[in-house]
Amino acid sequence: MEKMTRVSTINGRTMFCHLDAPANAISVCRDATQVVVAGRNIFKIYGLEEDGFVERLNLRVGRKPSLNFSCADVMWHQMEENLLATAATNGAVVTWNLSRPCRNKQEQLFTEHKRTVNKVCFHPTEVNMLLSGSQDGFMKCFDLRKKESVSTFSGQSESVRDVQFSMKDYFTFAASFENGNVQLWDIRRPDRYERMFTAHTGPVFCCDWHPEDRGWLATGGRDKMVKVWDMSTNRVKEIYCVQTFASVARVKWRPERRYHLATCSMMVDHNIYVWDVRRPFIPFATFEEHKDVTTGIVWRHQHDPYFLLSGSKDSTLYQHMFKDASRPVDRANPEGLCFGLFGDLAFAAKESLMSAPASAGDVGRKTYPGGDRRYPIFFFKKPDVTEQFAQVSSALSVFESEADSSAGMDWFINTAQSYLLSGKPFAELCEHNAHVAKSLNRPQESTTWTMLRIMFSEPANPSLSTNHNLNKSGNLPLVNSFSMKEMSGALNERNKENRQDNIHSLETNLNNNDENEETEGSEGQAEYLFVDDELDDDELYSMEHDNQPAEESEYLLPQEAFPLRHEIMDHPSAPEPLQEKQESPHVSGSEAESMCLTPMESFSLISVSQQLFSPHLPPKFFCPIVKEMLCYYAEQGDVQMAVSVLIVLGDRIRKEIDELMQEHWYMSYIDLLQRFELWNVSNEVIKLSTCGAIMCLNQASTTLHINCSNCKRPMSNKGWICDRCHQCASVCAVCHHVVKGLFVWCQGCSHGGHLEHVMEWLKQSKHCPAGCGHLCEYT
């Protein structure tokens, strides 16, 4: 009986019109040119024009319309284009004939149901057969040629929410119930249902037969699920389940798209979703126009998948165009990426992206080289949108940074653990830290430490401040070369004014530099340099850099070196050795630098003659530079260096730096240390810090409530002696000595002792070492 051929073309656009009242249901006529809207206070027919809805007919006539006009459902006959049926809220089933000449088009009235009729349904091929389902729990079949129902079906369960004739089986219809059941009936056998199964927990509000697949029935319920059942087998089988996020009021299979169905909800959610049942988690398309609950959805034409009509409680009637639908998938992020603490990188991506070549071409075939056995091969001929949509998965991988890579964080942990921040004379701390930094391949930091040592060492204590390198080759000029970019900024600033009148000397300096280039390989000289061949181990930098910056740095070198000297010249004792130094061919060690310095480190070279400074220059002289340097480290993300230097220098520098900034550095460093679970280091830093806000970190938020191990009553005073039994409370239960330091105790029996003693004891015995019989737990 399939008379419909593919509709030639439906033209139109997304459009809407205002209704006078909220709609309860809508239905289209067979040729898709008109739509009927029914509700409690509305019953109208609209024509679907290309550019809008046009009201054709108001079926609600009379001054005081009877309750028969108050419709819960409406259906337009799909064979007879003048025939409509409505389900009235008063329990009446009404048919309407549009060809009647008078204004009142009502044709027949069946008042057999006792309560609201929820649903009416015409037989798809039989002209005169009408089915109704009511709140009273009965379904009735009417022959429109007769005045009464021809048969009554009793569901024996609760209210009927939906009835639907099968599209393919002439005699079969499905009914859904408020108690979660779905029943299949044979129209010829009103005594007993053919099959019954529980489809949902809670009411099943709707069902819809698949237009092509004989046995497929979609049901939607209050449990927010849409389920697709295969009825063709002996046992009813759930083949798909779509989880939506509001109770499902209507479900309609999409024409010409085997796996698609549209749903709308009866509360909370006003949107209409089109799902691909194979990908049940995310809607294929969404229509978001309605402002209130959508009550009726219908595809405009049986064979056109692109037009959807909907009516809503917000008193609008919409025609949705599929091309205007929003596609949640397009906005969904196909990738996840996260850096881990140790420099590892977790990456999840849609598989088709991962395997697709840069030119995103034949994605579909590449992704499934073996072909997916679930679907026939022809699906892969042309990977169209819907097929691509249905088959997705993500691959998850973790890129773990190797131990020595630049992305890894081992250097941080090692540095944090090995640095000495207190407990030794200043110079030794610096030397130790310089050594640590050097052994971790961090020459810049190493140099900084060495420099700090030289700058701030007490003049009275020259032995400590003497460089061991110098001792090794004492006969050579006492020159230390430092490469410190961070100094450049400060120095540049300070000396801009000096530069003008110093151009001349600058030039000579440049010349000197050139000479240095020529006098290659002054053996022994390299020993003086703190910068050495290991510098280039910072791989990332070395590969980024090229010759250009190296040259630049050479050029800059004298600029920076010079002004410092200029200032020194003010100093009474400075000039002579300085002069000597300028003449020296080894002044800056630039040959070594051009060999091995990375731009990072070699941005500037400052030559400092140690002998010059130590006796005369007050450490204060360096404070601005050091401050600049600390800020530089902080801005580079190396807050570890900033804080370590801050602590080691202590009062020497503290006053120079903004209190707030110091606190910020401390906080950041402590946070980092705690991330790496370096609790001891973090504690030490907190202890050594001088900021009030930091120091109190250790004093807050921990309260210990302890019981006396002797009398087991709470200890109220702070001392070691319990004021109730006047015994010493913190005695080790194993060795019976008073515990100082790490004390561990059982929260059950209050006995405890030295950590290692208790650990050892509990290896052998489960019972409390004090002999109280308690089964102590040590975790």
Partner 1 sequence: MFVAKSIAADHKDLIHDVSYDFHGRRMATCSSDQSVKVWDKGDDGEWHCTASWKTHSGSVWRVTWAHPEFGQVLASCSFDRTAAVWEEIVGESNDKQRGQSHWIKRTTLVDSRTSVTDVKFAPKHMGLMLTTCSADGVVRIYEAPDVMNLSQWSLQHEISCKLACSCISWNPSSSRAHPPMIAVGGDDSNGAYSGKVQIHEYNENTRKYAKAETLMTVTDPVHDIAFAPNLGRSFHVLAIATKDVRIFKLLPLRRESANSSGPTKFEVQVMAQFDSHNSQVWRVSWNITSTLLASSGDDGCVRLWKANYMDNWKCTGILRGDGSPVNGSSGPSAALSAVGVPGAAQMIVGAATAGRKKAQLMPG
Residues 352-381 interacting with partner 1 (rule: CB under 8 A): 353-358, 360
Is 432 annotated among the ligand-binding residues? no
Is there binding between residue 669 and partner 1 (CB under 8 A)? yes
Mapped onto helix, strand or coil, the DSSP state of residue 539 is helix
Closer to partner 1 at the Cβ: 428 or 539? 539
Q: Is 394 in the site for partner 1 (CB under 8 A)?
A: yes
Q: Are 322 and 10 in contact (CB under 8 A)?
A: no
Q: How far is the CB of 351 from partner 1 (least distance, A)?
A: 8
Q: What is the DSSP letter of 466?
A: S
- Least distance (Å) from partner 1 to the CB of residue 649? 16
Query: CB burial class (10 A; 0-12, 13-18, 19+) of residue 130?
Result: buried
Using the contact rule CB under 8 A, the part of the chain among 46-54, 250-258, 339-347, 510-518 near partner 1 is 339-347
Beta bridge partners of 292: none
Which range binds partner 1 by CB under 8 A, 16-24, 397-405, 495-503, 614-622? 397-405
12 binds partner 1 per the rule CB under 8 A: no
For residue 478, with 0-12 CB atoms within 10 Å meaning exposed, 13-18 middle and 19 or more buried, which class applies?
Answer: middle
Nearer to partner 1, 112 or 663 (CB): 663
> Which one of the spans 127-135, 368-376, 404-412, 615-623 is the region binding partner 1 (CB under 8 A)?
404-412
Instruction: Pick the closer one to partner 1 by CB: 150 or 346.
Output: 346
- Asked whether position 440 contacts partner 1 by CB under 8 A, the answer is no
Near partner 1 in 63-122, by CB under 8 A: none
Shortest distance in whole angstroms from residue 261 CB to partner 1: 17
Q: Work out which of 668, 683, 690, 710 binds partner 1, going by CB under 8 A.
A: 668
Site membership for partner 1, residue 267 (CB under 8 A): no
The annotation status of 430 as a binding-site residue, yes or no, is no
Spatial CA neighbour of 281 closest among 331, 243, 327, 226? 243
Q: Are the beta carbons of 108 and 98 closer than 8 angstroms?
A: no
Whether residue 691 is annotated as binding a ligand: the answer is no
* Least distance (Å) between residue 601 CB and partner 1: 8
What distance in Å separates the CA atoms of residue 151 and residue 110, rounded to the nearest whole number?
A: 13
Give the interface size with partner 1 as a residue count (CB under 8 A).
Answer: 91
Phi, psi of 161 (to 5 degrees): -100, -30
For the CB of residue 679, give the shortest distance to partner 1 in the complex, in Å. 12
User: What is d(CA 701, CA 57) in angstroms, rounded to the nearest whole number?
Assistant: 76
| Beta carbon of residue 559, minimum distance to partner 1 (angstroms, whole number) | 17
Candidates 102-110, 226-234, 344-352, 493-501: pick the segment binding partner 1 (CB under 8 A): 344-352
User: Position 25: which residue type?
Assistant: A
- Whichever of 154 and 405 has its CB closer to partner 1, that residue is 405
CA atoms within 13 A on the CB side of 226: 35
Q: Which two tokens stand for residue 331?
A: 């906005």
Q: How far is the CB of 744 from partner 1 (least distance, A)?
A: 20
Q: Least distance (Å) from partner 1 to the CB of residue 549? A: 7
Q: Is 207 marked within a binding site?
A: no
Nearer to partner 1, 331 or 373 (CB): 331
Shortest Å distance, C-beta 633 to partner 1 = 9
Interatomic CA distance for residues 657 and 630, integer angstroms: 9
Site for partner 1 in 460-499 (CB under 8 A): 485
Give φ, ψ of 219 to 5 degrees: -130, 150
Under 8 Å between Cβ of 121 and 75: yes
Q: How many CA atoms are closer than 13 Å to the CA of 48, on its beta-carbon side?
A: 27
**Residue 355: its H or E element:** helix 351-355
Instruction: Report the relative pairing of strands 225-230 and 237-243 from DSSP bridges.
Output: antiparallel
25 versus 643: smaller Cβ distance to partner 1:
643
Q: Decide: is 412 part of the binding site for partner 1 (CB under 8 A).
A: yes
Angle between the N-to-C axes of helices 659-675 and 623-635, in degrees from 0 to 180, rounded to the nearest 10: 40
Find out whether 774 is annotated in a ligand binding site. Answer: yes
**Is 555 an interacting residue with respect to partner 1 (CB under 8 A)?**
no
Phi, psi at 471, each rounded to 5°? -60, -35
Is residue 767 a known part of a binding site? Answer: no
* Residue 604 binding partner 1, by CB under 8 A: no
Displacement of CA 643 from its chain's centroid (Å): 32
Q: Should residue 33 be labelled a site residue for partner 1 when binding is judged by CB under 8 A?
A: no
Site for partner 1 in 213-242 (CB under 8 A): 224
- Which residues, in sequence order, are CB contacts of 470 under 8 Å at separation 6+? 478, 480, 528, 610
Do 282 and 306 touch, CB atoms closer than 8 A?
no
The smaller minimum CB distance to partner 1, of residues 550 and 728, is found at 550
Determine the Cα–Cα distance for residues 35 and 298; give it in Å rounded to an integer: 10
**Beta-carbon neighbour count of residue 496 at 10 Å?**
10
738: which 2 tokens? 């008073």
For residues 394 and 502, which CB has a smaller minimum distance to partner 1 in the complex? 394
Candidates 350-358, 502-510, 726-734, 751-759; binding stretch for partner 1 (CB under 8 A)? 350-358
| Single residue of 407, 440, 526, 772 touching partner 1 by CB under 8 A | 407
- Interactions with partner 1, residue window 273-332 (CB under 8 A): 279, 281-282, 328, 331-332
First to last CA, the chain: 77
For residues 35 and 28, give the distance between their C-alpha atoms in angstroms, rounded to a whole number: 4
Question: In 523-604, at which residue ranges do the beta strands (DSSP E only) sit?
Answer: none
Contact flag: residue 127 with partner 1 (CB under 8 A): no
Amino acid at 728: C
701: left (phi over 0), alpha (psi -120 to 50) or beta: left
Among 664, 687, 712, 724, binds partner 1 (CB under 8 A): 664
Q: Is 141 among the annotated ligand-binding positions?
A: no
729 touches 706 (CB < 8 A)? yes
Name which of 427 and 672 has its Cβ closer to partner 1: 672
CB neighbours (10 Å) of residue 559?
Answer: 18
Our finding on whether 335 is near partner 1 (CB under 8 A) is yes
The Cα 346–Cα 693 span in angstroms is 36
What x-and-dash track marks residues 562-601 binding partner 1 by CB under 8 A?
-------------------------------------xx-
Q: Is 775 in the site for partner 1 (CB under 8 A)?
A: no
Which residue in 386, 402, 450, 365 sits closest to 648, CA to CA?
A: 450
Helices 639-649 and 443-456: angle between axes, nearest 10 degrees: 20
Nearer of residues 395 and 735 to partner 1, judged by Cβ: 395
Which range touches partner 1 (CB under 8 A), out of 72-80, 100-108, 389-397, 494-502? 389-397
396 makes contact with partner 1 (CB under 8 A): yes
Q: Is 264 annotated as a binding residue?
A: no
Which of 676, 720, 743, 778 is the binder for partner 1 (CB under 8 A)?
676
Residue 544 binds to partner 1 (criterion: CB under 8 A): yes
Q: Which of residues 643-662 bind partner 1 (CB under 8 A)?
A: 643, 660-661
Residue ranges of the binding site for Zn(2+) = 708, 711, 722, 725, 732, 735, 746, 749, 751, 754, 757, 768, 772, 774, 776
